[in-house]
Every structure is written in C-alpha cells, then in structure tokens.
Structure 1
Amino acid sequence: MRKHILIVLGLIVLVAIAGFVYLAWPDSAKLSVAEVAGVRPDITAPRIQTIPTINVADVVGWQDGATPTAAPGLTVRPFATGLDHPRWLYRLPNGDVLVAETNSPLRKGGGIQGWVMKHLLGKAGAAGPSANRITLLRDTNGDGVSDQRSVFMTGLNSPFGMALFKGQLYIGNTDALVRVPYTDGQTRITATPETVIKLNPGGNHWARNVIPAPDGKTLYVSVGSATNIADHGIDAEKYRANILQAWPDAKTFRIYAAGLRNPQGMAINPITGQLWTVVNERDMLGSDLAPDYLTQVEFGDQFGWPWYYWGGYPDTRVEPANPALQQYSKRPDYAMGPHVAALGLDFANDIKLGQRFANGAFVGEHGSWNRKPVSGYKVVYVAFAASGFPAPGTKPVDVLTGFLDAKGEARGRPVGVIADQTGAMLVADDVGNVVWRVSPAAPTQTAAR
C-alpha cells in the first residue's frame, strides 16, 4: 500500500512539474520593448529560465523585389546584393566600401547550450561555413549602387572589424588583431597579415571590432564573452567581455573597460570625443530582461558582467558571487530594450539623413532569439541632447524596418551601419545577403502651373 501511495504521489509531483513548465515556458513578455528602453527603463524582477525560450524568426530572404521600409522622408534601395553573410562595413578614404563576409567559426562542444546555439544558428540562417573574405564595393558613377566588386582579402579567420590606421589596414579576426599595408585605391591585398595581438577565440561571441582611439596612438578592440554568464567559470573568460586598448607599434594591450558581455559596435561621440559602444546583454532572465544598451565607455569602467546587470542588479545564477563589485558596477547611459541584439553603431555626424536625425546615434538591431514576442530586427535612431547624451524620456525611433514579413519570418537581419561618402546610411544585412542604402527621399516635384 505504501509503495502505491508513493507512486501516486510521485505521479502527482511529475504532473505538477509538467504543468508548471507548460505554464511558465516559453516565457512571454509582460512589458513592451519601449518600456524597457531609454535612460530609465523599467527593470522588473527576473524570471530565470533553465530551459530557454527559443523564439527566433525563420529566415525566408527577400522575395520578388521586396525591400525594407524606410522612415517617412527616407528611401531605401540595394547598394549591393548576392553577398555571403555580409556582417560589417568600413568606408575607405576614396569612398570604396569594404564588407566583411563572415560567420561564426565551426562550433565545438555539446550539452544543452551547444545544442541551443547550433539550433539558433540554423534557424537564423547562420549555420554555414564562414566565407572568411573581405569584399570591396565601388560606386563609380555616384548613383548609389555598387557597380564594381572585387575580392579584397581572403584567408582570414572569421574577420569582422576593419580600420585604417597610419597606413595599415587593421582587421579583427576572431583570434587576433592583424594588419596589412594599404595604399589608397587598392582593390586587392595579397600580403600575409601580420599579427598585432592575439585574442582568445571560441565560444558564443566570436566577432572582434576595432576602431582608432582619439589619442592617435592606440586602437580599441572589442571582445565579447565566451558564454552567457561565465558558464564555464570566470577563468575561461580571460580578456573576454572587454574593450581592450592596443598599442600597435609595441604589440601590447591592456583592458580599457570590463564587464561588457558582448560589445560590438564602437564609435567616437562627435560631441564629447569619448568612446561609445552598444552591448548585447545576457539571456535567460525572461523576455523583459536584461536590456541591451548604448553607453559611453571610459578607462577603468566596469559594467558588472557576469555578476550584475544595469548598474548593480545581481544575477543570482552566477557563482561564486561577487558582492564587492556591486557598488562599482557602472550603469549604462541608455537601454535599447530587451534582447534586441544591438550590434551596429554610428553617429549622425557621419550618417546624414536630414534634420530629424541630425544629432544622435544609429543602432543596428540584429534581432532576438530569447524573447516572446521577438524584438529588434530593425535599425533605430536614438536622439541626443546638446550635452552629448540621450535625453531622459527619449525612446528609440525606427529608421529601417520590414525585416520581418507579415508571418513574422525574417527576410533579413541588420548588423553593421556606416555612412557612404555622401552621408547616406549603408546597412549590412547578413542573412538577406544585401547591403542596403538609406538616403533622404527626393523632394516631391510640384506640377507647373
């Protein structure tokens, strides 16, 4: 009799657990994206997930000449098509545009995290091998469409960021910052890249960006974390979740700022002259947490990862705890919203889309996988005040949307954003395999009377 009672109790417990999982998973948002965006976002209690909410838009591509939708007063058209996972862009002094056709290195490892990441890559159209190539795009007649294309560099290792500095082109490979000599107007480089500093590869966040620092002597290099919240221990995250400062002549570096889970887009604020970045924050705290962010970064800053988010909210999943860090965790300047995957960044001194977008930052949001409903999948604008910071009450404004179709399937996913030589915005769409060009619409012609 006792055995039967225990069996029945066990079944009741199993049913209760199954019912709880059914009710609690997948987690659905209780707040809008806008409520978790801005200078003072709504930070609610976490809803910790053991089984992650997986809700990524299936990729269908651009069909029958469809394009994204530009904000009123703007127009969009393809600058270049038929690319292989174009992820990041860089404009050379003569106006040529370099595009990194790149993808994650082949992933190793199993477990639930490995399965999730491979599943997500497949659904997001990013499961194929990396082209490991930089392609040069040239618009010879100034009509806003690339009419010449050449393979600029090959033999790279998941290349991402690119920057000219003192006659050298620096490239952020996943495992090293490398450089090659560059002459203005070159259409192909065959020189063997020279290693400047080695970077720790592997893990979830493989892309390395690089930009020159305002001092004219050093470079900033962004390196994302290997895992969500130091899942394999903090020792496995050495020189990860950092922005590094590199001295290319001496081939040395130091940690410039830390606690940044996945910083990718970096740019110098034209008003303050300071480094700014966008950061892709942590997963599996529920559909309303934690917000990705846009922030100024100064030497010695610590933004809390993995122990804290949004300036001191503890992530109780991380062990051992680090209570001494809480008071030193810097609060970011601006929340972009939960799980939007903020990756691209450029300022309005480069991108010129009219008075409505004259003083602020443009952010490419690659789109969520851990939120229901999805968030991101667009390019947005954050207006700045005269102080050089976003004003309280400011919310992101849509600039380029339509990457999701009426069924919620992904026609594309935006990443890098830069200005072309005219000030129009170029957007790398890594699963649509397009670089889009956004410019002010031509004024309506009034009929002659």
Structure 2
Amino acid sequence: MSTKRKILAWVVGLIVLILLVFWWLSRGDTADLSVSEVSGEGPVLQEPRAETIPTINIAEPVGWPAGEVPAAAEGLVVNRFAEGLDHPRVVHTLPNGDVLVTLTRAPASDNGGGITAWIADLLMSRAGATGTSANELVLLRDQDGDGRSDQRLTVLDNLDSPSGIAWRDGRLYIANHDELLAYDYELGAASTTGDPEKLMDLPAAGNHWMRNIALSPDGDKIYVAVGSASNIGEKGMDVEKGRAAIWEYDLEAGRQRIFATGLRNPNGLDFSPWSGELWTTVNERDMLGSDLVPDYLTNVPVGANYGWPWVYYKDTIDRRVDAPMPAYTTEYARYPEFALGPHVAALGLVFSEEGSTMGEKFGNGAFIARHGSWNRKPASGYDVVYVAFDNRGNPLGKPVPVLTGFLNDNGTTKGRPTWVDFAGDGSLLVSDDTAGIIWRVTAPGAAPRAAIVQPERRSLPPQRQLQGDPRARFVEEYAREQVAE
C-alpha cells in the first residue's frame, strides 16, 4: 500500500472514530425511574450522572388536526376556547370575565452569537420556541356564553417579551422581560389610557426570560418571578444578581426587595387559599441525567432559600458548581414541598377557587401546566396535572393527569400546555403556545365550588422566662400541642 493510501486510510479511520465517540456521547441518558417515582412528597433522588453533552430529545410540534382536542380526565370535557393565536403564554381572567393573554416569545438573543448560541437556537427552533415575538396583550371575550371566545381585541401591541399579567382597582400590571409596568385600565375597555408607569427594572432576558407576576390577596404588593441566566452559575455569579429569585414590590411604599432566593427558574405564582401563603412552580437544573433534578411546587415564605446553584432538595450538593458555596447553605436551604417530575418544565399554576366547576374530584388542590421536556429520555410533561391538597393546605399523593394527548407516539407533539387560569364561568383555561390555542376544561353539571375555609391557626405562646434548656421547653410545648390536636 502506498504512503498516500495509508495516510488516507488513517484519516478515514480517525474520522470514523470521532464520529463513533460523538455518537456515544450524544446518545444521552435514558431514565431508570418513572416520572411518578420522581414526583410527590418523597421523590426518589437518584445518584447524579453529570453530562458533558446534555441528553437531547426534542418533540417537534406538528399542530392539532382540525377538530381534535386533548384527552381529558374522566368526568371532564375540553373544547377550543380560542385558536389562531401567535404563541400565547400567560392567561389572566379579569373580574368581568374578559380573558387577557400575552402573545410573546423570548427577546432577541444578546449573547453575541457563537457555536453555543447557534446550537441553542437550533434546539429551541425545533421545539417551536423561536421566532419574532408578537409582543401583544390581547383580550378574548365570550359574549354569548357558549364557552368559546367570539371577540378578540388587541389591548397593547408595544410590549417587549411580556409575560406576567395582573389587575386591580383600575390598574393593569404587565411584566416585560426587563421591567414591571402599570397602566390605567378600566374593565371592559378596548385599550389602556395614558402612558405606562415603570414600577421597577428587572434583570433582562437571560436563559429564562419570562417574568410572571401575582398580586397579594390584599392588593398591596406584587410578586415577580425571575429565573436564572444559566444552568448552575457557569457564567459567573455576578450575572445572576437579582435572578433565580422572587421579588416583592410594595405598591404603597414604591420600593422593591428580594423576597426569596435559590429558585433556579420560578414560574407560576399563586396564593394558597388555605394559608394565604405564596406558592410557586420551579424548573430545576439540567445535565445530571434523565432522572434528575425534579421540578417542584412549593411554598415561599419571606426570606426562603432553595439552594440554587449549590444544592438541590435542601442538602444534595451539586459538585459541578465552581462558585464558592456560602456557609451554612445546607442548614438554611429548604426542601421543596412537592416534586413534579424530572425535566417536566412546570409553568402555570392555579389553586382551586370559589366558583370553579371542575367537580369534586378536582376541587381541592392545584392545577399545573407541564410544558414538556427537551432533555429527557423518554420525554416527560406535555400535560396538565392536578395536585390534591388536604384541608390544611398540604399537597398529597402524586400528580393526577387532567389533560393529556399532547405528545404523539412518534416523538412529535401536537402542542405544549403553558399556562392555567380559571375563566369567569369556573372552567379551567389552558394556553397551548406552539399550537396557538386556548383550551377550556370543565366538569359538565358540576356545582360551582364553595369558598375554601382557612383552618384556624394558633401560634405557640411566647416564652417570657427561660427555665432550664430552652430547646427542651419548646419540644415539650410542641409535643403537647400535637397531642391536643
């Protein structure tokens, strides 16, 4: 064999070897556990399998055939409330029954391009998440009460990747990706009046660009969810200032503060009808295998920290993080209340409320839109689930499917459930961003739910005099309270 042929053979062999290595690395990690096993109050947390190349399993959206709807749980029916929308995300029902929806996508990339940006754009394009944002707030109205929107108005068309919506006492609050705005808006109007008031700046764009908001029950404060700019702080922690957090804005005082931290990507926000406490859905970190780390639903007391990026589920340390871990992180980090499954991309959240018509089986808990995974084998999410709560406001059991059928057997998807809210008639509205549809779910014949009665709560009496070991005194008092109950 000539020297030229030998060199050619070596080059071909090397190329084949590189391709085989790349194929091996890119096969990804196949889950050992079911989504159910990594859900609930005590999820199985497998040993982490750190990945150099993430598992990639993207479900390409193909749309819903004409007349087809998702599969609803027994006792529920579903219909198309609205369709033909340009990537609807957040849904918010006003007191008069009008439904506001943000038509939105991520802002234009500001990461300077490069191979990483190119790969990210390619993946998100395949998932149906890229494109120019419509930047609109639209109003949908069901004038004849048949469960379908028959009027559509554009309320605002000059927003900047908007997501969160709230309204109270003639003020409409909208969160762009980089600011929180307030508009004058009266119920029933076709548009806002005057110029908006900027209430606060928000950390712009980043890996997680949605800025979802919720007004406190008394209307005095707004809470804003801001996701991280990275997976585990790999871009440095300076860029994460103000991110992976929930902010609180005091409307009376006109000032803001960070309310809770260590939440990689908080999304849905709602207040527990049993306790009045803020709860959120959180998307956890990636590239630890298909079984880790489960997204979660949890309460958010003031000052709470859930450990990102250094730990997850209170005390499991992520050894990949380069940034020095603050002292006592595992002592003060909180364990999430309820796991929603690995990589399910939990987004919209709404608790059962007075007047909802979802039937007794789905009348005492929380509804959550699981947008669907891009990095798990097999895929997870692509559904709407219900988490039952007891009468004290504690989540129970496992997530129960409410809407399924979004994911096809061939790995494509008809749509991706994104947000949930109750309509004025008590039905559940679900936005489907890649399909451009708002679904409506209800239990025919179900009586409107009565108001949830908050349980009576008593604090332990203050200790005005120390006697012996104060820790023993507390334990004794606490034990006595539990026995009395």
TM over 0.5: yes
Whole-Å separation in 2 of the counterparts to 1:165 and 1:306: 35
The alignment status of 1:381 with 2:386, answered yes or no, reads yes
Q: Shift of residue 193 of structure 1?
A: 1.9
The alignment status of 1:94 with 2:96, answered yes or no, reads yes
Match of 2:338 in 1: 334
Compute the TM-score of the two structures, normalised by the length of structure 2: 0.85
Q: Shift of residue 249 of structure 1?
A: 4.0
Q: 1:261 aligns with which of 264, 269, 272?
A: 264
Match of 1:22 in 2: 24
Match of 1:108 in 2: 110
Whole-Å separation in 1 of the counterparts to 2:245 and 2:369: 20
Match of 1:241 in 2: 244
1:123-142 alignment, distance < 5 Å? 123-142=126-145
Would the alpha carbon gap of residues 16 and 81 (structure 1) be closer, same or farther in structure 2, given more than 3 Å must change? closer
Q: Work out the percentage of aligned pairs sharing the same amino acid.
A: 50
Match of 1:73 in 2: 75
Tell whether the 8 Å contact from 2:62 to 2:414 is kept in structure 1 after alignment: yes
Q: Shift of residue 408 of structure 1?
A: 2.3
Q: Shift of residue 124 of structure 1?
A: 1.3
For residues 242-296 of structure 1, give each alpha carbon's deviation from its aligned partner in whole angstroms, at most 9, with x where no partner exists: 1001013443210100000111100001011110000011111110000000001
Aligned length: 432
Q: 1:158 aligns with which of 147, 156, 161?
A: 161
Bigger drift between 265-274 and 18-27 goes to 18-27
Match of 1:412 in 2: 415
Match of 1:181 in 2: 184
Match of 2:322 in 1: 319
Would the alpha carbon gap of residues 24 and 63 (structure 1) be closer, same or farther in structure 2, given more than 3 Å must change? closer
Match of 2:209 in 1: 206
Match of 1:370 in 2: 375
Q: Shift of residue 320 of structure 1?
A: 2.4
Dislocated runs of 4+, deviation >6 Å: none
Compute the TM-score of the two structures, normalised by the length of structure 1: 0.92
Letter matched to residue 333 of structure 2? S
Q: Give the SS at the match of 1:326.
A: helix
Letter matched to residue 88 of structure 1? V
Q: Give the SS at the match of 1:118.
A: helix
Letter matched to residue 401 of structure 1? T
Q: Give the SS at the match of 1:191.
A: strand
Whole-Å separation in 1 of the counterparts to 2:48 and 2:26: 13
Letter matched to residue 383 of structure 2? K
Whole-Å separation in 2 of the counterparts to 1:229 and 1:405: 32
Q: Shift of residue 203 of structure 1?
A: 1.3
The alignment status of 1:431 with 2:439, answered yes or no, reads no
For residues 57-103 of structure 1, give each alpha carbon's deviation from its aligned partner in whole angstroms, at most 9, with x where no partner exists: 00101123221111111110100010000001011111000010011
In structure 1, the gaps of 5 or more residues are 1-7, 444-449
In structure 2, the gaps of 5 or more residues are 1-9, 447-485
Bigger drift between 208-217 and 225-234 goes to 208-217
The alignment status of 1:42 with 2:44, answered yes or no, reads yes
Q: Give the SS at the match of 1:122.
A: helix
Whole-Å separation in 2 of the counterparts to 1:16 and 1:179: 55
Q: Shift of residue 356 of structure 1?
A: 0.4
Whole-Å separation in 1 of the counterparts to 2:133 and 2:379: 26
Letter matched to residue 377 of structure 1? Y
For residues 288-345 of structure 1, give each alpha carbon's deviation from its aligned partner in whole angstroms, at most 9, with x where no partner exists: 0000000011000000011111112111111123162122110000000000000010
Whole-Å separation in 2 of the counterparts to 1:17 and 1:304: 39
